[in-house]
Structure 1
Amino acid sequence: MASLLCLNKTIILPTEPTGKFRRDQCVSDHSSYNHPPFPLLQLTPKTDKKAIFILGSSGTGKSKLAVTLALCFAGEIINSDKMQVYDNLHIITNKIKPEERFNVPHHLLGGVNPDSEFTAVDFGQKSAAAVQEISARGHLAIVAGGSNSYIKEMVAGDNGLLDRGYQCCFIWVDADGKALEEFVSERVEKMVEEGLVEEARAMFKPDADYSKGVRKAIGLPEMERYFRRQRNRDERERAAVLAEAIGEIKENTCRLTRRQREKIGRFEAEEGWRLNRVDATAALIRRREASAAEELWEKMVVEPSVKVVKKFVGGVGGHTSNGDQ
């Protein structure tokens, strides 16, 4: 069992997705419930036309924070990772596992044909519709993902959220570059253990276009080259070629985290968006000490984020259609 400190109360989270959620002395079984558990904060009508955005480089914990905030504020999550919108490749695209969602509804997480091209404009239209549906249910839309071109289109594109009169609150889960790159490199190794190679092999087609659709995802082009090069090689040579491919995946993932961080910084400088930065570095550094890492995560990331959202849904902060705060 794990706990999340939320608005000075504690939610007890089950280790399985079909367990029980507690709110003080009230226990509700949500094993067949299609929406989030009862919130600790009863939302007011002021949450209408408001959306939360969780920004951050790959590996900073955006999905984890989004689920926590959804449980605290009766939220539903919209995925904004451009590779996770496609079906299949759960390991390579690092989709949040069902047991980590705690029954919180997730939108645009899969559903798109892997061989099609889902553009930022497509995402802007689909995500805006999802936000309106979530708001109509009296819930808070929480957008989480690392594809900043998607986020920019959703917020500031033609007929985007700002044009529709929405207020947007931005939380940036940031981390020291070295600590983050060490973590994502380790995560690649874990993904290999979980079946990355086998997942890529199932998608391998010699004549496929690896510049289109989900095949652009880091992990697939590198493995495609490995599958071609391993032919007619002995076991030792195949192992060396595989190690080279895994090294390329690590290098490309680290490069991605740097690009993402730079682009997020430009949102504030170029778009005038106010970014509420929280620092996950300490939790990443202590990641091998589970208890200490979780305490640091709650203190450095969860608690300040909850305060930001509580203030925002209470009617303070955010961006209106003219950029006022």
Structure 2
Amino acid sequence: MRISFSACKPPQAAAPPLVNFPAGLINIMDKLILPRQRRKEKVVVVMGATGTGKSRLSIDLATRFGAEIINSDKMQVYRGLDVVTNKVTAAECRGVPHHLLGIADPDDDFTAADFVERASLAAEEITHRGRLPIIAGGSNSFVKALVSDDHYFRSRYECCFLWVDVSLPVLHYFVSKRVDRMVVAGLVDEARELFAGAGGDYSRGIAGPSGADLLERAVDQIKACTRNLVCCQLRNIARLEEHLERRIHRLNATEALLRHGGDADEAWERVVAGPGTAIVGRFLCDEPPTPPMSSSATVILGPTNSTAAVAAATR
């Protein structure tokens, strides 16, 4: 399904004729014409903890609304370490243009101020082409700096916020499994190449008799750090949600993660992509939005239920 972004845009007001009008009539015309001329451009912001599927949702939306994606992940702005930072692949992008992805040198200090400047320029270029900017990534400090702290961006753009969320016990399990897949995909080799220029001796360590044990311990540490990152990201999103007066639409992707194959795709469309498409469609057409989903919409599984859910997911 593809929905035209431009179809919902109001026509531009024609320039007023070059004649003199009474002051009272000019004031009326100002009220009718100027608000339309000053109408803000639309931007969609997709957020969520690592591993929840925010990249997938942003690409789904981009293919349906003729959009381009601006990366807001502070690690993925750097070149290299595609596996370590879990960058989307060319196949996963499905032809959707991505901005601010792998643009910075690894030795650079790419700050929130740098992100605000580059993201604002990218959004301006995208809207100039009549397309929809979608900001997506897990670095909520970048998102806050842009949509909340930057006056220029706030004065120019109106934002629709989508939060892809997953029950925490289930998400912890799946991000740990994702680390295992990253190791198979070459995480160790990629890390070795990064530090090769530092002059260390990499002929020992993991390559030695206890190498397997060292690797297992290192992978366990990566998993623990990733789980801690998830919790930190969720706290930051909660703070941003409070700052935005709960204007964030929360989409619960837990069911989609727990299913397999075609059932997983069906669940994703039903509980994440479909509702997200409907929310963005109303936003672009200036229709009254449905009330944002409350925090209680997320299913938080207890110990017994989470164990059963994870067991079902691994069958």
Q: TM-score range by the shorter chain?
A: 0.7 to 0.9
Shift of 1:176: 0.3
Shift of 1:171: 0.2
For the structure 1 residues 79 and 315, does the alpha-carbon distance in structure 2 shift closer, same or farther, using more than 3 Å as the test?
A: same
> Which range is displaced more, 272-281 or 133-142?
272-281
AA aligned to 2:249 is N
Among the aligned pairs, what percent are the same residue?
41
Identify the match of residue 178 of structure 1 among 159, 166, 169.
169
Q: Which residue of 2 aligns with 1:296?
A: 267
Shift of 1:40: 3.0
Q: Contact 2:206 / 2:212 at 8 angstroms: preserved in 1?
A: no
Deviations 1:144-185 (A, max 9, x none): 1000000001112233421x3311000000010011111110
Q: Which residue of 1 aligns with 2:9?
A: 45
Shift of 1:232: 6.1
Q: Which residue of 1 aligns with 2:182?
A: 191
Spell out the pairing of 1:299-310 with structure 2 (5 A cutoff): 299-310=270-281
Give the structure-2-normalised TM-score: 0.78
Q: Which residue of 2 aligns with 1:96?
A: 88
CA–CA separation in structure 2 for the residues paired with 1:194 and 1:232 = 20
Shift of 1:132: 0.8
Deviations 1:264-283 (A, max 9, x none): 11112134250100001011
Q: Which residue of 2 aligns with 1:269?
A: 242
CA–CA separation in structure 1 for the residues paired with 2:241 and 2:54 = 19
Which of the pair is proportionally richer in helix? 2
Q: Which residue of 1 aligns with 2:303?
A: none
Which of the pair is proportionally richer in strand? 1
Query: Is 1:137–2:110 an aligned residue pair?
Result: no
1:90 is paired with a residue whose SS is: coil
Shift of 1:317: 5.8
Q: Which residue of 2 aligns with 1:10?
A: none
AA aligned to 2:214 is V
1:78 is paired with a residue whose SS is: strand
For the structure 1 residues 312 and 247, does the alpha-carbon distance in structure 2 shift closer, same or farther, using more than 3 Å as the test?
A: same
AA aligned to 1:266 is R
Deviations 1:218-253 (A, max 9, x none): xxxxxx9xx87x836774411101100000000000
What's the RMSD between the two structures over aligned residues? 2.1
> Which range is displaced more, 98-107 or 270-279?
270-279
Q: Which residue of 2 aligns with 1:201?
A: 192
Give the structure-1-normalised TM-score: 0.75
Q: Give the structure with higher Rg (CA).
A: 2
Query: Is 1:146–2:138 an aligned residue pair?
Result: yes
AA aligned to 2:223 is K
Q: Contact 1:124 / 1:157 at 8 angstroms: preserved in 2?
A: no
Identify the match of residue 61 of structure 1 among 53, 67, 78.
53
For the structure 1 residues 232 and 265, does the alpha-carbon distance in structure 2 shift closer, same or farther, using more than 3 Å as the test?
A: closer
CA–CA separation in structure 1 for the residues paired with 2:206 and 2:149 = 50
Structure 2, unaligned stretches of length 5 or more?
11-38, 290-315
